[in-house]
A = this chain, B = another copy of it.
């Protein structure tokens, strides 16, 4: 059986309040009393019931972080940042994964997955503005990620258009003329939208043609999807001199295909990824990538939810985190290992 305050009180021959005082390190308890109660606590193996405390306090000290996938190290790193920042504020993080599936994202946003939470940080993939508009849930919500929403919620992200432009500018600056984009999806408001826009804008600014035939759609955003997209481009008889991928895993999958077909990176085709995951630094050809400040994003997200917890309702705002373009072998070759900055 579980031991409660009452049990300890009875055992020590004192009132519940006194035990509570000891448990909570209350000021005014005589050392003698404290020790006597502590003995009972130890003897009975008493542990406070958090659920009861939460009910009493009206809050749980838990915030949820719902991510598309844990397998992508980008999200893992982000999660670590969130967990650490939350811990600094005495908050625990309940991590959830949606698989980037609309169903799951809806459930999470409506609070059906984990309702013991004080706040929610959500990184949506499929959700539309309308899905979020009539959210019946009352815990604060903060959005993460590259989708564009017109909603009264804080949204933490980097400037995806600008970051994509920086990536393409880097490629164009190296003399590349035909830059493929891997990882788009059909549809107006899709995750890659802003990055495709950046790709388009920068090509135009450079006076290069925008060839929509070089935009490869994919089902998912993993290594295999990047490989499949690259294969499709090559099989279509196209031979771009550069590839900009939606994220690092896809870029790495694409490089695998290039390698298997005897195409050299970057000599024949330069490759740029997005997210700067550790993996990209240890391939046979290290990967140039847009590196968002994950630590900042995680920290800002937590602070944003917590700010709304006290009942305060600051106006919803869009927060831009920093990013850099990290240049490596996949664009510079074996010689260059500079780590240029931007953003």
CB distance from A140 to the nearest CB of B (A): 13
**Cα separation A50 to B73 with both chains bound (whole Å):** 32
**Cα separation A138 to B282 with both chains bound (whole Å):** 44
Question: Which residue of B is nearest A116, CB measured?
Answer: B50
A77 within 8 Å of B (CB atoms): yes
| A side interface size, CB within 8 A | 54
Q: Are B113 and A92 in contact, CB atoms less than 8 angstroms apart?
A: yes
Closest 10 CB pairs of A and B: A95-B95, A284-B284, A70-B76, A71-B76, A50-B115, A223-B282, A256-B282, A51-B54, A51-B55, A259-B284
Chain copies in the assembled complex:
2
**Cα separation A254 to B249 with both chains bound (whole Å):** 20
A47 within 8 Å of B (CB atoms): yes
| Residue numbers in B under 8 Å from A214 (CB-CB) | none
Q: Are A222 and B51 in contact, CB atoms less than 8 angstroms apart?
A: no
Which residues of chain A from 44 to 65 have any CB-CB distance to chain B below 8 Å in the complex? 45, 47-52, 54-55, 58, 60, 62
**Chain A interface SS verdict (over half):** mixed
Q: Are B55 and A52 in contact, CB atoms less than 8 angstroms apart?
A: yes
CB distance from A198 to the nearest CB of B (A): 26
CB distance from A269 to the nearest CB of B (A): 14
Name the contact of A283 in the complex, choosing from B48, B50, B283 (C-beta under 8 A): B283
Question: Which residue of B is nearest A99, CB measured?
Answer: B80
| Residue numbers in B under 8 Å from A249 (CB-CB) | 278, 282
CB distance from A136 to the nearest CB of B (A): 6
| Residue numbers in B under 8 Å from A52 (CB-CB) | 55
A83 within 8 Å of B (CB atoms): yes
